[in-house]
Each structure stands twice: as structure tokens, then as C-alpha cells.
Amino acid sequence: MGGISGEREISLRSGKGVLESLKKQGYDAVGIDVGADVDIRLREENIEAAFIILHGIGGEDGSIQGLLQTMKIPYTGSGVRASALAMDKELTKLVIGQFGIPFAKTVYIDCGQSAEFAAKEIVEKIGFPVIVKPTAEGSSLGCFIAHDRNELDSGLVKFVADFKRGVAESFISGTEITVGVLGDGDNIRALPALELVPKNEYYDFEAKYTKGMTDFFCPARLDENASRLAAKYAIETHLALGCHGASRVDFIVDKQNNLFCLELNSIPGMTPTSDLPEEIKAEGGTYDSLVLEILSTATCDR
């Protein structure tokens, strides 16, 4: 847990919850705040299995997975390749598009080019409103919405200075939902969809992590067909990217009940009030049962 990404504090909160749960359930568990000495800590603590709750760059991009794979330590979650794919919004879209999973109209931004060049392409291919996101950040870090050319131009100047690559998507006004996927092989399943109703314009960092800034409904208030499609697309996205053990897929449902995949989170948050724990409760499980189910999928063989 922990690490050095912009999601460090969320990772520490998630890790604290998992660690407490494991200890309560009788496991000899230790929390490792990941730094440059992580390999030494793993050896010193004689780790038999790693429960990864390391969000963001360094945790969800395949880096820690590669180390654990090399050290032959079984670990939870997706492997190196799937983690790297899921962390990259551009590659995710290119992969799921091959499987017919719908997503919003998108322009890929190379931040080595000028903000003016990026803005021109976005206006020509998408129009307004548009949401711009870094390719490899989570928790909505670095995202902004533009309703006109002035907002787009000013937002892109800072964006191209801060990030190497990005994606611009048509901003779809609708219902935001997220669907957890658990298990592997024949036991894979989608959890009940969770509906997110943020008090901000969209589910941004503040809405995600500030108490009272988002209302939740689980199961989501969707019709039967939309609920079925959400579960279907979530599992198909998980499998298309080669994910393992646990993931969470985010969608927008427009006013015509069309679903658009936003992204897959290969290491969902595990604070007691995070999305995945809320969904497991709706299924009839508990936070502790969720922790054990994820731990049971730990392996080096992916």
C-alpha cells in the first residue's frame, strides 16, 4: 500500500482496512508502505502472499506485479500485462473496441504536440462538452471538463505541461455506475451495479473522497436491460484486458439507456465505504468476506 502516486493517501486508507480485516480473521499480516526498499521489506518479512492495494502509477501499471512475479511471490489482482493495459486509457479503448464494447467518441492526445493542435483536433472530431483525462492516472486526477473553446484552450495549456499523454472524450450527461467483477475461470461474476450521484458536475476527486459529496444507490436504479448489459460489458471488459481476481468497470448510461464504458480499475479502492465493498454488501457479503475472496485468487500463474 501507499507508494508515491497521487493516490497515495487513498491507498493507505484502503490498505489499513484490508490489513485490519486480515488480522481480525487470524492472518499473520503486515502492511508494507512501498518505497525503493520494497524488495528488501518483502524478504525481511518473509512474505508468502501479497495483497496489493497500491493505487496509481507504480501499483496498477504492472510495476509491483513484475517485481512480485520475479520474486515468485503470489499476489492478488491482475498480472503485469493486464495491469499495464488497464492503467492506460488509450490502450484500454483500443482493446475493448475490438470486442464491440461501446465507449464515448474519443481523441487521443500526444502532449508532445501543442495545446493549440490538440484543441483543433478535439473541436473537429468531438465538439462540446468534452472531458479531458490523463492517460495513466486514477481517481479523476488531472481531469477537466470544457464547455467551449476558451475553457478547452486554457485547460489544455496546463494539461500538456503536466502530462505526457491524454484522452479527450465526448462528455455524456447521464447516470454514472460502476460494476465490480470478482473471481476467475468459471467462477467469474459481476456484482450489483452501484449508481453514483455526485453533487459536482461529475464524479471527480472531491466527489469520490469527500463524505456527503456523492449519493449512492446499490443496486443502481436501472431498467432490467441496462442492468443486464452493465454486468455483461463489465465481465467482457475484464476478460478482454486479461484481468484476474478483482476489478471495477465504470460506465455512463445516457438518457436513452445506452451504456458507454469509461475505464477499468484493476485495483479497486478498499476503504470501508469504497465502491466494491458497497457492492458486495448488496450481494449479501461483508467487507471481510470480500477480502478473503480476493486473497483466495492470489497467484503467480497468470
Residues with catalytic annotation? 7, 139, 209, 248, 250, 263, 265, 269
Alpha helices in the chain (DSSP H): 8-24, 38-44, 63-70, 80-87, 89-98, 115-125, 149-162, 205-209, 224-240, 275-283, 287-295
Distance separating the N- and C-terminal Cα atoms of the chain: 22
Dig out the grid coordinates for 218 from the structure: 446499490
3-state secondary structure of 83: helix
The span from the CA of 258 to the CA of 104, in Å, is: 11
- Residue that the C-alpha cell 501499471 belongs to: 61
Strands 165-170 and 106-110: antiparallel
Dig out the grid coordinates for 94 from the structure: 483500443
The span from the CA of 17 to the CA of 272, in Å, is: 7
The span from the CA of 157 to the CA of 132, in Å, is: 12
| Residue 75: alpha-carbon gap to chain centroid | 18
